[in-house]
Amino acid sequence: MLRPRLVLRLLRPVQCHSVRCSSSASEPVRVRYSAPAPRKKERLEDPSRPSEGTRPSDIITAYDGRKHQFHRYYLSLSPNRGPLLVSTWTQALPARNAQISSSLNQHPLEVFHTTDADLDLVAACLELVVARAVRASNSKEEERAFYLQQKPGTRALHWLVAGALEKHDLSQAQQFLRAMIHCIVAEGQESHLWSWLSIEHTPEYMRSWTRFEMRTWRGEVVRWLVESATYWAPGGPNLQQGLLVYVQARERAEFGGVPNLPTGAARAWLLKQVSGPFGNTNSIPRDLFEKFMSIAVQDDRSRFEKARMMLKYPGEPRPDLGLDVLRASKNRDSRPPYMKNLVEADDGPKLTCFHNFVLNVARALRDQGRMAEAREALDIGRDLAPSYFGGAAPRIDWRTRARQTHRRPIEAWSSYGLEASEDGSIKESALRQRQAEAAYKVEAEERQRQIELRRQQAMKSKELRQRKSSRR
């Protein structure tokens, strides 16, 4: 069988040359041979190969095990994209609740016939209605029609106003407020919520509370109202409706006669959605986006949040502020407090947020053709968080991590079953070794007992078969 290289060699174009032999024949003898084809010069177009002039420190190992050039690898990564995930709690609700009676499982809205019902029970019944609406509908239009027919949100609000508010603490009723507002927005009765929030009434059990404690539940109402408006937006979840409701809440709190209306929880949720990877801001009008940014970001501590929002500016990202924030964070002495808390803290979520921020700034600069500044942003990120910009970090077992940690007192290792040896290294304590030996001994005895039990069962089965055969 011919080898592949030999087959390719035989298939090359053949050149013929006339050679005069020393024989007496009059015709020339033609000798056939194949000339080797010229070898092409290799081109370094593969992004995994380092380019010329690359320093050895710029080569990183990615999660696929291949080596990449640092700037080329991170600038070639595409950002995460996907649908906006809002009100996902509706998909996880069970269709039947075993904690309530069978009659309420069949007719959950009957819980509103009395104001003495427990608030947790009412919340469970409302969630049961939401779960059935989700399962019985193939689209949002059908789900909205279900709510318009049953009116669960309006009934829940009337139940509160009728006297239940005087008996139940709404600051500890997250599930009830979430389900009620979800249903009210689906029914299109948001005006009832604003009318309810405008009532200046303090229940008797709140008289001894602080001002902050008395208005906590109002902030939760605004937060769930913003999320529900985003979820029930025409055409699918849209952040534009949530921003409109938030701006309306701020205007009502300042000029519309709705006192004690905190909006901090709604602001935090919107900032997370707008700055997150799945927040599509292209459909948001620029004037609404800038108005929300001017309201939500007002102090210097939120400069980082403003830079993140400018990366999601409708139409085209604006990374200039983000690059300025990174440049201001290079020097440890002049680093802003908000960046110092983000970078110097030994906190995984904070460093992950910083890592994503650097990548988004670099990608935005790359899309604008500013490659030198994009590489500068990546270099700053690598200097401030080297463990998050080195490709795949090697896995370290607990013994190696224990030996590398010197700031922990030696006495603290006893809680982990470790102790310090004479040379200063960390090893397993004698107590832990004895515990491991005892556990191994118990496991060996149990294994031997199982073997003996199976042997006895096999002998009994054999004797039973012999008795049956002897009877025959």
* Top-confidence range, 112-126, 181-195, 245-259: 181-195
Residue where the block lists tokens 């193939």? 138
Residues 6+ apart with CB under 8 A from 402: 413, 416, 418, 426
Residue where the block lists tokens 């006669």? 257
What's the pLDDT score for residue 372? 93
User: Computed from CA positions of residues 20, 24, 27, 33, in that sequence, does the dihedral angle turn out positive or negative?
Assistant: negative
361-407, pLDDT tens digit by residue? 999 999 999 999 999 999 998 888 887 887 544 344 444 444 443 33
User: Computed from CA positions of residues 159, 164, 168, 170, in that sequence, does the dihedral angle turn out positive or negative?
Assistant: positive
In this prediction, residues 419-428 reach a mean pLDDT of: 47
| Residue 445, amino acid | E
pTM: 0.66
Q: Does 80 or 313 have the greater pLDDT score? A: 313
Question: How confident is residue 433, by pLDDT bands cut at 50, 70 and 90?
Answer: low
Query: Residues 385, 351: contact at Cβ < 8 Å?
Result: yes
In this prediction, residues 115-121 reach a mean pLDDT of: 83
Q: Within 10 Å of residue 105's Cβ, how many Cβ atoms?
A: 16
- Contacts by 107-110 with C-beta closer than 8 Å and gap 24+? 109/150, 109/152, 109/155
Query: Residues 219, 263: contact at Cβ < 8 Å?
Result: yes
276-295, pLDDT tens digit by residue? 767 778 888 889 998 888 88
138-151, pLDDT tens digit by residue? 888 899 999 999 99
